[in-house]
Amino acid sequence: MEELLKEQFDCKEVKSCNGKTGGINSDGGVYLLDGKKVFVKRNPAKGSRMYEGEHASLMTLHQIDIIKAPKPIRIFSRGEKSFFVMEYLAINPLLKQAASLGEKLAQLHLYNEQLRVLSLKNESFVGKTTHFVEKFGFDVTTCVGFIPMDNRWEDDWLTFYARNRLKAQVDRVVSTYHDRDVASMWPEIERVLPQLFPSDQSMIPSLLHGDFWVGNTGEIDGEPCIFDPGSSYGHSEFDLALPPFPSEFHDAYHKIIPKQPGFEKRHKSYILFYLLNRWNHFGSGYKASALALMREICAYNK
């Protein structure tokens, strides 16, 4: 690995710092490149697509510059392995900065709406991106875990979420596990979804982390930090689906973005995406909870 990094970065000296980590889809290590500390993720097969999406997500987060995140540096491949080099951050578990994270996530979710207002006034944020995003999606494929997300741009969030998120996971479960219960309940879920997202609901796309849970957050130097994003522009509530964040996080978030009518039922539909996604990652241990939630959502139509 040291020789490979020397070649890629034209370094005189590369040292391993023995800061190895292991994740679900990648492992990684900390290295000094001519005295500069970086973190290198590596993946044997699936890495290139995952890393391209993560790189684009981190770049967008850095352009907006609201929540601290590692700065991406370079993606490269050698043989059947892919590597993603990024800024090293000594991230600690999220403890004291939960409320601050809630505030900053809400600010991130509102940023695109602020751009829309400023664009109408022909103004800009100095030093930040000023391109208002009108649709739901993203310019590149991103991943939740190792599963690629269909980020084709769509005018309507309900259409995007039903087709590009839920239906994609349902199809994958049915294809892999041949589960008849999921297949039979999906048409009913489709009929229920429009009740959760009324057609008259005004929704401005928000930049999402995309895989926002406590394991992808932390704190450093007295401020919150996020990492491992799989971003897209979507409904802000989507980033709130996964536990276990403390109450101060939610209180701070909803002080800035209050819960809208129907929040709890939409929240269940977002949890369903993650249960199906984990079923597709880890197997039928998630089947019972996914099916139970599908039945609960189907009952909304009765």
Where would I find the H helices in the chain? Answer: 2-9, 47-64, 98-120, 157-160, 168-177, 180-196, 247-256, 263-282, 287-298
Write out the two tokens for 121.
Answer: 């006034």
Alpha-carbon gap, residue 217 to 257, rounded angstroms:
20
Alpha-carbon gap, residue 276 to 166, rounded angstroms:
8
Q: What angle do CA 265, 267, 270 make, to 5 degrees?
A: 120
CA end-to-end span of the chain: 59
| Residue 211 annotated as catalytic | yes
Element (H, E) at 224: strand 223-226
Give me the catalytic one of 171, 179, 211, 251: 211
Write out the two tokens for 57.
Answer: 């997500």
- Residues annotated catalytic, as ranges: 211
